[in-house]
Amino acid sequence: MMEQYKGAPFGELSPHVFAVADASYRAMTTEGRSQSILVSGESGAGKTETTKLIMQYLTYVGGRAASDERTVEQQVLESNPLLEAFGNARTVRNDNSSRFGKFVEIQFDANGRISGAAIRTYLLERSRVVQITDPERNYHCFYQLCASGKDAEKYKLGHPSHFHYLNQSKTYELDGVSNAEEYMKTRTAMDIVGISYEEQEAIFRTLAAILHLGNVEFSPGKEHDSSVLKDQKSSFHMQMAANLFMCDENLLLATLSTRTIQTREGIIIKALDCNGAVSSRDALAKTVYARLFDWLVEKINRSVGQDLNSQMQIGVLDIYGFECFKDNSFEQFCINFANEKLQQHFNEHVFKMEQEEYSKEEIDWSYIEFIDNQDVLDLIEKKPLGIIALLDEACMFPKSTHHTFSTRLFQSFRDHPRWEKAKFSETDFTLSHYAGKVTYHTDFFLDKNRDYVVVDHCNLLSSSKCPFVADLFCSLPEESSRSSYKFSSVATRFKQQLQALMETLNTTEPHYVRCVKPNSLNRPQKFENLSILHQLRCGGVLEAVRISLAGYPTRRTYSEFVDRFGLLAPEFMDISYDEKSTTEKILKNLKLENFQLGKTKVFLRAGQIGVLDSRRAEVLDNAAKRIQCQLRTFVARRNFVSTRAAAFALQAFCRGFLARALYAVKRETAAAIFIQKHVRRWLLRHAYVELYSAAVTIQSNIRGFSTRQRFVHGKKHKAATMIQARWRMRKVRSAFQHHQASIVAIQCLWRRKLAKRELRKLKQLANESGALRLAKTKLEKQLEDLTWRLHLEKRIRVSNEEAKSAEILRLQTVVESLNLELDASKLATINECNKNAVLQNQLELSGKEKSALERELKDMAELRKENTVLKSSLDALDKKNSDMENELRKAQKNSNDTIQKLQEFEHKCYDLQQNVNSLKEKLSVLEDENHIMRQKALAVSPKSNRRGYEKASVPEKNSGALVPHTDRKPEFESPTPSKLITPFSHGLSESRRTKLAVERHQENYEFLSRCIKDDIGFKDSKPSAACIIYKCLLQWHAFESERTVIFDHIIEGINDVLRVGDENITLPYWLSNASALLCLLQRNLRPNGFPATQRSAGSSSLALRIAHGLTSPFKQGDGMSHLEARYPAILFKQQLTACVEKIFGLMRDSLKKELAPLLGSCIQAPKAARVHAGKSRSPGNAPQQLPGSQWDNIIKFLDNLMIRLRGNHVPSFFIRKLITQVFSFINMSLFNSLLLRRECCTFSNGEYVKSGLAELEKWIVNTGDEFAGTSWHELNYIRQAVGFLVIHQKRRKSLDEIRQDLCPALTIRQIYRISTMYWDDKYGTQSVSNEVVAQMRELLNKDNQNLTSNSFLLDDDLSIPFSTEDIDKAIPLIDPSDIEIPSSLSGYSCVQFLVQHQNEIVRSSQIVAA
């Protein structure tokens, strides 16, 4: 909008403050005279906002000076919110009323660029700091500081209701205004105007000190007319105020509760009563705040900088408007006095000076009457009997009261027409201002006019340790009085400031902006006609309109008029007329009417000067075009003639030179060809013979050397392989024989012991009749269980074999295809070699032909007669030779290409061979697992039933891999068949060893339960619970057990914790621990590859198990020790994988459940934002949309999620997958809501969602690729849909542009849905054109026949985006050796090995340190 008004004639466009600002700027640049813009009106009419718009426009057209590196215009604009925070407050009529006057003087250089600025302030309302009435508020900066969060806590501040200076009114918040956000804006404004961080901290320390000072209360002291602090709360606030002022607390209390009087005999200290102490406290608060405000204004002026060399300025006056409240005091009196002064200036400029000009020039003019307010100004400021003079006189007498002051006023102005006495009060009086009658209460006139400066306060704060506070009181007045209280009249000082302002305004050309308040309720779209008419009449607007309609706004002297517009009638300029008659003839020639001719000037109606300027511009434009036409014709003809002559001469010279050069070239070419023909033939033959012999020699030597090297290498490799095989065979055989002998001895002793014990028990059981029946039923149950497991293992084995066979077939087909490609490449190579041999034969034949031709050339000297015939044959042979050489080069090139292709095929074959090897390794792993399953299925032999009684009678000495025995081998499992004892143990008697084993078994379970249920934290980002569980299972040899339930106990414990615990804490914690435990199992376990089938005798089975124990811990390429795992361990790894996927799914579903309501409120912009956007149609008035608090909630939700995940050290791999699925859910939810709700498919809503997506993008960038990954790409659908909503001129976009450029990811059905539901609630633009809609509808009709589903919505992604291999590759290596067991778990005897290991580490570190 500012661009529209820039340079536009005044009155051409609709009325706006930009037009007034542009008129003042143009007048300043054209006339070179300073301007001023006076913004006036009642309180709450919008003067401050109008002033902001004027300064924005001036900075827009003025910009920045070329030599000025500082952003003067930005500092001028940003000074507004800073001054508003410290100088504006809420009143009865206005939420943001200026409680001070402001005159902004913007200085310009000779080019019309801003070169400096200065701000002057008038009469800050100091009493508001300590005294306010309901429902008004104190200055905004106090409430902003209380809502600042950490800063408020630092200064011991709280809610405004806790402070005396703020809780006198119950209004603490303003509608639609956030004090915290305004605090940040004030901080930003301070940064821009150049206030350092230390100065900012000092400013807010001072404000906090004022608030604490207001809470200091006094009570009567022990002495007469003395005062002391009231209670402990007052002492606390006094201490805080002293700390913030950085002065002595006792001195501060003394300056508030006593007064120092200087006499001839010395200094007298007088104690103050409670009221005097409170008055002294308030005087200190007002003085500090006033000096702080003056410091801010001075700092802004220094920061912005004044241009002392500037000759042109534009002043913008924003001063308090006319105020008339229920209770009007001294402040309203001063404010209305200033408005009377401005009204008098308006009357003098618009009415008096205008009509005096008309009378001076003696033109036909009828005088317009208007209301003159000079008598009111005389009543207020005239000496010696004006109200201000009488007020100063009363303030000089100590015993004067408002009663004596009111009596004096009534006696002096009893007969004045503008003066009235209030009806129901003895001390109130009424003045008839230009805007109406106002009744003033004189109760506080004397107190507010006395501007006391307490010298003790100044001395105390000038010695403050805070440099800022000491700076505020650095300059003290000369102390010539006996009292420490220095009196200064506020009204007199204000009158002097107003007089200086009037002098400044009189030196400038004024422009007026009248602000009219539509209603007294501060409601939009509501106009009170009587109130508006009263404001227009009292402000002199109606009289100004009458003068503008009847007057002549444009006037020129006759000489200026003739000099400027004489060219419109050149026929009158040649005749010797005087200037007045020439002016009249020019105007009549242009058929203009209603103008007036004065003595020295011509007066024109409104708009006539524009007609004259437009006619003058037409005449000048036509003359310039004619001159340009003639000049261009002359220049073009002159250039053409000279160019043509030069071209003729140049062409002749070039043609001769080219002909001579062409002749010489042809002659030299013929001679060169003859010489080259013979020389090239000899050189080529000689070079070919040498190259051929050298190539043959090199090839033979290289082939012999490579063959010898391969033979020697193969011989050495074969010998080394044979030696290694013999040595390994001998080593393994000797170890096996040794261990086999030991095992056979141990088995014999153990079986003898068992046989004796079994014999005794069988003898005891022989007399029992029910023993056989009980054993039979238990064996049947065991047989059914084993049969069921056999069928299960068979099904698993069949499925594994089918998968293995399918994988083998696929690999075989790949290998066969690669072999075929290799054969084809070999055949192509052989063909190329054959072609090369043929070409070499042809080259030899050509060599023989060349030798024959040489012999013929020797005979040619003798046979000159046959020269012509031989020449023709020689040319033919040369041509044939060149063709043969070209074919040879092509054959060599083809041979090189074929060799390169063969090398590429060899590389491909090598890569495929590596893939085949890796697949074979995987196949071997699958076969090992299958072997274990087959072993479990075939482990039940017919002998087992026969030994049932024997097993039933054996006590459970070694119950699996849970009890750590000191006497067992760590490499293999005990051959005791204790796995089958559990079903029989309840019915049999237990011995002492059985009780001990069960107790240890139970202790292991309790330890694992405690380890799972307790949060034992992390060490060096490694989960302690997972590492401790793994080390315990490894120590207890649980992975090598054929049958155990400890893994089921661990999985059930984890599920119980997940089911009972808090999701926000438990799920991230166990995702980190479970994934770490899974990685440890994946990297350190492998299936048992040695099947140990049971035989009738137990010795062979035990020997094989010992062999397994010896060979299972082997080293792979990565250096990590691997353990052979039995079937329960493999099943536990699969269950743990499912547990990790379950935890991830629960976390994802929980996050979606929490995020769904937040997304429901983010898809649609708030109603207030939409209403405001609908009202401001023009781009100039469009407010900046900020993301709402709902998007902030989503950002907070994501931040909390990252804090929880990173606090539990969840690997970045899971965080990246989880964040990606969360953003996919955001994309799906927002996009589906956009397509289903028409109120969401609007322009303003698109801007709102786009701003929210910008916040999400900022969050992704701050988070980084390590945790966010490709989350931003998951928002493609909603980003493209929102981008389509907020573009302008949709009707100009074709379907191809929409599908390829704007929405490439969206389908036709989705684009059609958005296009038909779109409506612009902000600018009223239309959606895509009807042709595009018809094209999309046609495509949809065609697609409906092919698609099975016509849904345009997105589906939620419920898959698990990772596998066990992905987890193994993504998570770094975990070393569980340095994990320390917590003190709460170290009491269990089953984990004493961890405690001992920990103590050894501590001792070793101490030794190293020593």
Catalytic (active-site) positions: 43-44, 48, 94, 97-98, 321, 323
545 within 8 A of 606, measured Cβ to Cβ:
no
Q: Which tokens in the block code for residue 690?
A: 């040498």
Look at residues 513, 25, 17 and name the one whose alpha carbon lies nearest to residue 1: 17
**Partners of 1037 in the β-ladder:** none
Cα–Cα distance, 1245 to 1278 (Å, whole number): 13
Helix H segments across 63-97?
Answer: 72-87
* Sequence-distant (≥ 6) Cβ neighbours of residue 1410 within 8 angstroms: none
Cα–Cα distance, 728 to 839 (Å, whole number): 57
Cα–Cα distance, 928 to 932 (Å, whole number): 6
How far apart, in Å, are the Cα atoms of 668 and each of 673, 675, 838, 1217?
A: 9, 11, 40, 78
Cα–Cα distance, 1276 to 1249 (Å, whole number): 13
3-class secondary structure, 45: coil
* Sequence-distant (≥ 6) Cβ neighbours of residue 1152 within 8 angstroms: 1222, 1225, 1356
How far apart, in Å, are the Cα atoms of 1124 and each of 464, 1044, 1082, 1086, 1106?
A: 79, 16, 12, 5, 13
Torsion angle of alpha carbons 1071, 1074, 1080, 1083, nearest 10°?
Answer: -70
Cα 1125 from chain centroid (whole Å): 50
Ramachandran category for residue 748: left, alpha or beta (phi over 0 → left; psi -120 to 50 → alpha) = alpha
DSSP H or E stretch at residue 1342: helix 1330-1344
Long-range contacts formed by 995-1000: CB under 8 A, 24+ apart: 997/956, 997/957, 997/958, 997/959, 997/963, 998/956, 998/959, 1000/962, 1000/963, 1000/1389, 1000/1390
Query: Rounded to 5 degrees, what angle do the CA atoms 880, 883, 885 make?
Result: 110
Cα–Cα distance, 446 to 452 (Å, whole number): 12
Q: What share of the chain is helix, strand, coil (3-state, %, to 5)?
A: 65, 10, 25
Cα–Cα distance, 1332 to 1330 (Å, whole number): 5
Pairing status of strand 101-108 against strand 312-318: antiparallel
Cα–Cα distance, 1052 to 207 (Å, whole number): 61
**Chain position carrying tokens 């069949």:** 798
Helix H segments across 347-451?
Answer: 353-361, 374-381, 387-396, 402-412, 445-449
**Chain position carrying tokens 């035990």:** 1102
Q: One-letter amino acid identity for 329?
A: S
DSSP string, 1031-1089: HHHHHTTGGG-SS-SHHHHHHHHHHHHHHHS-HHHHHHHHHHHHHHHHHHHHHHEEE--
Cα–Cα distance, 1241 to 1234 (Å, whole number): 6
